Structure 1
Amino acid sequence: MTRNSRHRAIVAAAFLAAVSALAGCGAGTDAITNRPYSPTEALTTKTPQGIDISQAFFLGPDSGATLPAGGALPLYLSVVNTQAGTDQLVGLGVDPALGTAKVTAPVALPQNERVGVGRPTPTILIEGLKKPLRGGESIPVQLQFANAGIIQVRVPVITRSREYTAYPQAPGASAAPTPTPTPTPAATGAETSGTGGH
């Protein structure tokens, strides 16, 4: 083996060792980084009816908390109407075993204009939840449009964490559990014992 090829082999081995070490960073029994991170888990889809939906999600509880039975689940989404004329989002259909859908007012959808639903105040909700939700669930719904008709989608329930912390808390959501501080040796006096003779 020549000096140059030996040098290349050493560099390659060092590179592979560094990659292996970095791959292990964050791994552990409770490391969420073991799963690939997507900037958003919200639904995005284009429909043959001429309705483009993006960033659709139900806002669940804070991470680690619960949205209890009886609470409400607000829907957020962006809609672009690509049909030849205007349209309206007029209703939401959900399984009655989950709760009751409420649409406070139809959402006007001009042609080729992005409309944000739920901002600044949620206008479409599932109320009177029949079971608690923690986030991570996926709910089949029927979005009802005046002209485009019914569009069936599965909308994820996303916890109020990361980029979603700016949204108001879901109605009826319980607070996230407060982490219990771990006592340090200084707090227990372990480090101060036997030091009086100095």
Structure 2
Amino acid sequence: MSRSLRHGAFAATAIVFSIAALSACGAGNDAQTLQVRPDNAATTVDSIKIQNLNIITQPEADAEGPAVIAATLFNDGAKREIVEKISLPDTGATVELKPAKGSGPLVVPAGGRLVIGGKNNASAVIENGREAGKNGDVQTVAFTFSQTGDIALGATVVPATSFFEKFGPSAVPSPKPTPSDDASETPGEESQAPGEESGSPSATPTDSASPADDAAAGDTADAGH
């Protein structure tokens, strides 16, 4: 065998070992693809691919209200996958799942995709947004699929501003009135009510004895003489 052929054989063997090693990393419950990767919120396990995963909180850091999970799920398999649950391990947060229309489970069709978050898409809402973590943190998000099982990866916690505004929580709490606002509104309402009752000229006692009436009375007396 010539030297060039031997080099080619060695290169081919190295490629085979590399592919085998990558395949081993992507299989099983202890696969590296299941580990949290804070620098890349995307992963692929079997036929399921998760991309663009983020936890989006209220636009104001101190605002109370829900947070949401945004992600795009791809299914390259021949069977549909149902998202049975999404959770935030090691937290007390609960995630409520709703389809884009009607009621029922979140379905990733075979050969298709499912978008979570944004207008007219499925939603995954964390009722108490503060339990999702602080902005800038990386929080583990665990997906449970009907066929593939559990997939967990890290998601960055970001506020619903700039690019993430249209994917953020739809329920933004309105500001609560301060005590000073309540005090300024109450006297205004009380001052209007008395004015409406006593402001009519016909209700004043002086209208019954006006100067015009006195003059008319004098003319009548002169006519009688």
Cα contact 1:42–1:57 (8 A) shared by 2: no
1:50 equivalent in alignment to 2:28 = no
Correspondence list, 1:10-89, <5 A: 43-47=41-45, 49-62=46-59, 65-68=61-64, 71-89=65-83
Match of 2:125 in 1: 125
C-alpha spacing 1:57/1:84, structure 2 compared with 1 (3 Å): same
Correspondence list, 1:1-198, <5 A: 43-47=41-45, 49-62=46-59, 65-68=61-64, 71-95=65-89, 97-104=91-98, 105-120=104-119, 123-129=123-129, 131=131, 133-169=133-169, 171=171
Where does structure 1 lack aligned partners over 5 or more consecutive residues? 1-40, 176-198
Answer with 49-58 or 89-98: which moved more: 89-98
1:138, 1:67 → 2: CA distance? 20
CA RMSD of superposed structures (Å): 2.8
SS in 2 for 1:143: strand
Where does structure 2 lack aligned partners over 5 or more consecutive residues? 1-38, 99-103, 176-225
What TM-score, normalized to structure 1? 0.55
- Report the Cα offset of residue 83 of structure 1: 1.9
Cα contact 1:43–1:155 (8 A) shared by 2: yes
Larger RCO of the pair (alpha carbons < 8 Å, separation 6+): 1
Tell me the alpha carbon deviations over residues 14-71 of structure 1, each in whole angstroms, 9 at most, x when there is no partner: xxxxxxxxxxxxxxxxxxxxxxxxxxx8722222x32111111111122x62344xx3
Q: How many residues align?
A: 131
2:130, 2:161 → 1: CA distance? 24
More strand by share: 1
Tell me the alpha carbon deviations over residues 73-119 of structure 1, each in whole angstroms, 9 at most, x when there is no partner: 21111111112311111211223634222223421111221221123
2:161, 2:40 → 1: CA distance? 13
Identical positions, percent: 16
C-alpha spacing 1:88/1:56, structure 2 compared with 1 (3 Å): same
Is the radius of gyration larger for structure 1 or structure 2? 2
More helix by share: 2
Cα contact 1:82–1:111 (8 A) shared by 2: yes
